[in-house]
Structure 1
Amino acid sequence: MKNKWVQIGLSAVSLALAATLVLFLPEILQAMTGEHVSWSTIGAQFAKLSWQTVALMTAVWLASLLAYTFVLTASLPKLTHLQALTLNAGGSAVSNLLPFGGAAGVAMTLAMTKGWGFPLRAVVVSTLVSGIWNTLFRFILPAVGIVALLFSDQDLNPAVTGAAWAGVLSILALVAVVTAALYWDRAAALLGRALDALARLLPARIRPDRHGLSQALEKLRADTSEIVRRRWSGLTLGMISFLALQWLILVCCLQATGAYTGLAQSVAAFALSRVLTTALVTPSGAGIMEAGTVGALVFFGAPVDSATAAALLFGFWTYTVEIPFGGLALGAWALLRRRDNAAPAREEEPVRR
């Protein structure tokens, strides 16, 4: 991935795949659901949108971006909310254009924070903490979606219900173990010894160093524990607010297109959509997220044309629009950086008489 042309080629293939999946989405959905949908019927759903609805979606989208700045400011002390908004927008723009955009987004974060004077160690810890919090909530979301369905009036098979409860408990147990390991020294030591014991069961040729896993976990915990202990509430409230506002965007899309089938169903569809964004074959799971979300909405009883329009509209607010917005943020950052670098140079120039 260090080769520039390899990166360009993978990005082109990934973006082309995403565009193809979206272009042939009606055919894919017909194969999945057996129901006919066309771009003309989808376009008719878009034509019904009023300017008030679009304005509301825009306001909620902007509020979600502002909510996430609290996660970043909690993970990196002295970072302002405007800087956090720029970091988030720039990183999202890069991630949304590359198949493995997370690494490029981290590189962008390092470059921007270095220009603002933040030490490298603090930025690395911030990246780890915010990444861990995002991952934990990626695990929690499916559990929330499953629980919402279990307590709804959705008709579920008893076997599916049993498996769902088992899945929820497993997910929450995993999150509890990881959180405890990050917060408490004793829990980290116990988990490290358990991982070492599992590692000793592996064949000798692929077995890691005896203390390798526990040392790696201890290093990670040591780097992040101070931020987690002092700022866990800000991190958690920021993530909850961000995800709640993103769910509200989906609800707006469902209501606007006539695909809303209930509170629990909207929560489950949102949880599924966020999980599908982790698919690496396309940037942020573009194309895959829309198809999977439509499949869930149709299963919940939404008309296929309304569900498709809602999923595409939701994909616009959570993926597409972030690219030009992030580009503007990066452009403003580069312009201000150039101006700030030019100011000292002008001051050093000798005064001519």
Structure 2
Amino acid sequence: MQRFHTRRVITSVLTGCATATLMVLLPRAVGTTWAAVGEVLRAVSMPGLAALTVLWIAGLWSHTFVLAASLPGLTKRRGLTLSLTGSAVANVLPLGGAAGTGLNYAMTRRWGFSPAAFGGFLAVTTLTNVVAKLGVVAVALMLAPTMHSATALPIGRTGLALIPVLAALAAVAWFLARPSAAATTGRRLDRLLGFFRRRPMLALSLPELRISVLRVFRRGWRRMTLGMVAYLILQLGLLWMCFQLLGTALSLPILITGLAVERLLTLIPLTPGGAGVVEVGTSAALVALGGDPAAITAGLLLFRGFTYLLEIPVGGATLAIWCLRNRPRTRQAAGTTV
């Protein structure tokens, strides 16, 4: 136990240092300075921040349709609670996705959902989010040749880059469409992991998981699709407005490319919420496509201020309220009620 605690502390320190280093070096990595970035950010007005807040809230609310459809019986208000609290934990702790999942599990159990129902919910939402991110990447790659900077991204090269993305999406479709796919995948993974554990588990659990996922998809795929599409459109609108408020106009293909890079980098859990990695990687990609370094960095920091930073205090406050409302009741005095 002591060894685990020490390892956790070391991991936290290292990821914190990595995040701080990446953020400090962010302007230099794209060819600008913090002074220039700060000068651009001064153009943001209070009405502009209010408009961004409305867009951000609308995006979060649209995503609750996906969550509610993934766990029958879950209300959108509770779905929003799961989203905010899970994101707050994931954005603060190293490898915080697991901690956020544990917190969401405790919440759903408190609300009366079974472990099996939460397992299906987790599988469906994870799969939906990954497919949505890969879908944005696919759209960005298909639009790349239409950009003014297409000389850097010729159609042949983007076609090659599109192959692994489409292959990943096809693999998901194959897994869901063929009953034997889950069993085959499970057996191969069990064989691969046989050095670490003796009992084969995935050959049995993956087919059951596939059935659970398909059951949820058949019942709620329309709401999931509409909710996810609306969420991505609102995220794109938030990114567009961040740059518009700073006086920087980016074309639709470049905006989609920026969103695709940002979504893809959030899949890499090197730092909490991808902090530092996402900012450096996405800024570098947009600057490479012809954007002004200071304006691109400022716009992306403003965007991440809503999609990453603001989720921490709002999610933390939501978690505090939930804990107060669901704290264990102590033994009360005779005749006293709460």
TM-score of the two chains, using structure 1 as the length reference = 0.85
Q: Does 1:64 align with 2:59?
A: yes
Q: Corresponding residue for 2:158?
A: 164
Q: Distance in 2 between matches of 1:151 and 1:204?
A: 44
Q: How does 1:86-101 map to 2 (within 5 A)?
A: 86-101=81-96
Q: Corresponding residue for 1:34?
A: none
Counterpart residue type for residue 276 of structure 2: G
Q: Distance in 1 between matches of 2:71 and 2:157?
A: 40
Q: Distance in 2 between matches of 1:204 and 1:172?
A: 27
Q: CA deviation at 1:337?
A: 0.8
Q: Does 1:139 align with 2:134?
A: yes
Distance change (3 Å), C-alpha of 1:297 and 1:167: closer
Q: Corresponding residue for 1:189?
A: 180
* Deviation per residue, 1:100-136 (Å, 9 max, x gap): 1111011001111111111121111101110111111
Q: Distance in 1 between matches of 2:93 and 2:70?
A: 25
Identity across matched positions, percent: 32
Match of 2:235 among 229, 234, 246: 246
Q: Corresponding residue for 1:225?
A: 214
Q: Corresponding residue for 1:179?
A: 173
Counterpart residue type for residue 334 of structure 2: E
Check conservation: 1:199, 1:208, Cα contact below 8 A: no
User: Which is further off, 251-260 or 305-314?
Assistant: 251-260
Match of 1:83 among 75, 78, 82: 78
Q: Does 1:256 align with 2:245?
A: yes
Q: Which has the larger radius of gyration?
A: 1
Q: How does 1:1-353 map to 2 (within 5 A)?
A: 3-30=4-31, 37-156=32-151, 160-182=154-176, 184=177, 187-190=178-181, 192-193=183-184, 214-338=203-327, 341-342=328-329, 345-346=331-332, 349-350=334-335
Check conservation: 2:138, 2:165, Cα contact below 8 A: yes
Q: CA deviation at 1:86?
A: 0.6
Q: CA deviation at 1:203?
A: 9.2
Extract unaligned runs of 5+ from structure 1: 31-36
Check conservation: 1:180, 1:188, Cα contact below 8 A: no
Distance change (3 Å), C-alpha of 1:8 and 1:189: same
Q: CA deviation at 1:189?
A: 1.2
Q: Distance in 2 between matches of 1:6 and 1:84?
A: 33
Distance change (3 Å), C-alpha of 1:308 and 1:114: same
User: Which is further off, 12-21 or 323-332?
Assistant: 12-21
Secondary structure of 2:41's aligned partner: helix
Q: CA deviation at 1:256?
A: 1.9
Q: Corresponding residue for 1:33?
A: none
Q: Distance in 2 between matches of 1:205 and 1:15?
A: 34
TM-score of the two chains, using structure 2 as the length reference = 0.89
Q: Distance in 1 between matches of 2:138 and 2:211?
A: 29
Check conservation: 1:290, 1:312, Cα contact below 8 A: yes
Distance change (3 Å), C-alpha of 1:138 and 1:242: same
Counterpart residue type for residue 172 of structure 2: V
* Deviation per residue, 1:149-207 (Å, 9 max, x gap): 2233432357x42132233244234313413432x3xx1315644886x789x899869
Q: Distance in 1 between matches of 2:90 and 2:193?
A: 38
Counterpart residue type for residue 176 of structure 1: A
Extract unaligned runs of 5+ from structure 2: none
Q: Root-mean-square deviation (CA), in Å?
A: 2.8
Distance change (3 Å), C-alpha of 1:58 and 1:137: same
Distance change (3 Å), C-alpha of 1:110 and 1:190: closer
Distance change (3 Å), C-alpha of 1:154 and 1:55: same
Q: CA deviation at 1:208?
A: 10
Secondary structure of 1:142's aligned partner: helix
Check conservation: 2:186, 2:206, Cα contact below 8 A: no
Distance change (3 Å), C-alpha of 1:203 and 1:245: closer
Q: Distance in 1 between matches of 2:282 and 2:248?
A: 11
* Deviation per residue, 1:40-63 (Å, 9 max, x gap): 211111111112211111000011
Q: CA deviation at 1:326?
A: 0.5
* Deviation per residue, 1:208-234 (Å, 9 max, x gap): 99x976544312212222101211222
Distance change (3 Å), C-alpha of 1:165 and 1:107: same
Check conservation: 2:144, 2:158, Cα contact below 8 A: no
Counterpart residue type for residue 113 of structure 1: T
